[in-house]
Every structure is written in structure tokens, then in C-alpha cells.
Amino acid sequence: MIRTVLHDLTMLYQIISLLLEVVTGVVGGSCLLRLYMQQQRIPMSARSGNPLGRFVFGLTDWLVLPLRRVLPARGLTMVGPFCFVDQFGPGHLEIGLGMDVRPHPHIGLSTVTYLFEGAIEHRDSLGSFATIHPGAVNLMTAGKGIVHSERSPQSERDKGAPIYGMQTWLALPDGMEEIDPAFEQVMPDRLPIVSDTGVQARVIMGNLWGQTAATTCHAPTIYADIVLEAGGSIPIDAEADERAVMLVGGSADISGEEMELYALYVLRPGHAATLLSNSGGRVMLMGGQDFPTARRVWWNFVSSRQSRIDQAVMDWTEGRFPMVENDPEFIPLPQTPLTNSDPI
């Protein structure tokens, strides 16, 4: 009798051990698969249409949640279409000096320039010329190839002026990487402002809080400049596949997490958040649709194909890009660019 009971308990233990091994293996394997899919930019949201992605997301999200409600995006290289975020300033130019970014090329992306202070002159190989001031946005779509320069206006050099702003790059979506280049400047009166007690937000791209900016979006995109007074707050809804926030002035919290200045914080997909400032702050919100295919970034070139980047390198080296009229200067191809990524 005792021997039979011990035998049954041994079998039960073996069955439970086997089940635990299976469950641990499935969950562990799903976590590794999730990591791989995130690195390869394979969509996993409920709207992605990818059944494997939805399964992996649902199976692992309960485990990942406690580890990343709001995290600085160290090592993350895309949020929606945003593949490069550059915050410059705040600074003050000495009299007689200015910003001089000589002509240089781009492919496969759109550049978005937005200023808090100062002014910048844009010139490009299409013949476009525009001076951007705070509250407006410059959108330059490189597509199959464009060259541009960015310099301080003479009026800014003469008086010594502040310079403070953002430039971001947005990868062009599948099927649009080789579109014709274009440039547009959208003035402040076409970028709606959402106001509430203690907060004022300008919608730069996309639709947010029921307002839509006039800026062209080649893929679903959100981008906003949020100014918070002391005690001000604003909800960040969960509609976009991917979202991130960056504190560019003052102080702020995102869903209770104190933000570091100029760090990028990625919000948990599918969950709303709240932006709050106790003493006043300025925050940039960005994001949009996740990309189904990987992108590579090398210097100023973005593409889903390494061969296309290699071709752009040769074209710039051998002078086959169109140039900015009446500006013989140019930036040579660097041996080791600061922007250089593996597939993202």
C-alpha cells in the first residue's frame, strides 16, 4: 500500500515537473522570440495583423510589464518612424558667429526641424530657401536623394542670438523610400494649439487631442511640443503603436516617473500615460506606427537595404548628388560616422 502511494506521488511529481519544464520553456522561448522580434522591428501590436506577434505579445506582456512601465530608451533606435532625435542648445551665438552646417546629402528619410529660439536658413538642391522661426516646422523629404545646408541668418550673426531646437529624422515607409524629394515649411497658424489649465501643446505632426497638424505625414506619425506650467498635466493616449517623450526644459513626470533632462522615455504600448509638472517644464512627444521591416542608418542615409546605402555612399563620393545652388561647400564622407546602426 505504502509502496503504491509512493509510486503514485512519484508519478505525480514527474508529471508536474514535466509540465513546469514545458511552461518554462514556452514562456522563456517566447521572451527570447519577443526580444528578437523587437530587434528586427517585427510588429506585435493588436493591429499589426501578425498572429505570431500578437501571440508572443499576449504571452509575455504580463512578465515584461513590471520591468518597463516607463524606461529611458537606451539602445532603442526607432520609435514609430523616428530614427534620429537631435536636440541642440540652449545656447547663445557670439556676435559675428553662427551655425554653419555645410551642404550634405540624405536618402530614405524626412528631416523635421523645429525651433524654440533663434532662426535657421534652409537651402536645398531643389532650389528651396526658407528661414525657420520658433513655432513653425520645416519638413524636408529626401526620398531618392537631396542635398541641403542649414546656416544662421546674417541678422542673427550681427546681433548674437540664441539657438535652441530639435531636429528629428523620420524613416520613409515601405514603398516610399525612393519617392521624389520635396520641401515644405508649415507656419505656426497651421499647427494647432491645444490649451487647458496649466498646459499648452502645439501639434507639429499628426492628430493629437482631437487636433490635426497640416504637416505632411508619409506614415502615421505623432509629434508635439508640450509646455507645462507648475501643476499642469496632460494625458498621453495609447492610440499610436509606439510613443516616446523627451524633457527639454524644466522638470516633469511621466506616469509618476521623474524624467531626466534630454533622456528619451518610451511608453508602454497600448497603455495611456499622464504627463505632469510640479514646477513647470517642456516636453516633446513623438511616435507613430511601428515599421514592419528593418531600417539601416549610416551617416545621413536611411534605407531598408544595405545595397542602397552603399550606392548613396558611392554617389556622394563621386559627386553624383545634385548640389545646392551657389554654395560650393560640402561635407565630405566621414570614415566613421556618428550615426551608424545595425538593422533596426
Residue 139 lies in a domain: yes
Whole-prediction pTM: 0.78
- pLDDT the model gives residue 25: 76
CA gap 128, 113 in Å, rounded: 15
What was the pLDDT predicted at 37? 55
39 shares its domain with 124? no
Contact between residue 184 and residue 196 where contact means Cβ atoms under 8 Å apart: no
Q: What local confidence, expressed as pLDDT, does residue 102 receive? A: 96
For residue 232, the model assigns a pLDDT of 96
313 found inside a domain: no
Q: Is residue 250 part of a domain?
A: yes
Statement to judge: residues 201 and 245 lie in one domain: yes
19 with 165, same domain: the answer is: no
Residues 53 and 201 grouped into a single domain = no
Pair (93, 221) in one structural domain? yes
Angle between helices 51-64 and 2-39 (to 10 degrees): 110
- Domain with residue 176: its CATH number is 2.60.120.10
If one counts the domains in the chain, the total is: 2
Reading the block at residue 249, the C-alpha cell is: 526644459
Last residue of a domain, one of 288, 314, 330: 288
Q: Which helix (H) or strand (E) holds 8?
A: helix 2-39
Which of 288, 305, 329 delimits the end of a domain?
288
Contacts of 46 (CB under 8 A, 6+ apart): 54, 57, 270
- Evaluate whether residue 231 is within a structural domain: yes
Instruction: Look up the domain containing 175 and give its range.
Output: 82-288
What string of pLDDT tens digits covers the 344 residues of the chain? 565 655 666 777 777 877 777 777 776 776 667 555 544 445 444 434 567 766 765 565 444 332 222 222 345 678 999 999 999 889 998 999 999 999 999 999 999 999 999 999 999 999 999 999 999 999 999 999 999 999 999 999 999 999 999 999 999 999 999 999 999 999 999 999 999 999 999 999 999 999 999 999 999 999 999 999 999 999 999 999 999 999 999 999 998 899 999 988 999 899 899 999 999 999 999 999 999 998 999 999 999 999 999 999 999 999 999 999 989 999 999 988 887 775 44
Q: What is the pLDDT of residue 343?
A: 44
Judgement on whether residues 145 and 86 belong to the same structural domain of the protein: yes
φ, ψ for residue 45, nearest 5 deg? -70, 165
Q: Find the distance separating the first CA and the last CA of the chain, reported in whole Å.
A: 63
The rounded distance, in Å, linking the Cα atoms of 150 and 284 is 22
> Do residue 32 and residue 119 come from a single domain?
no
What's residue 223's pLDDT?
98
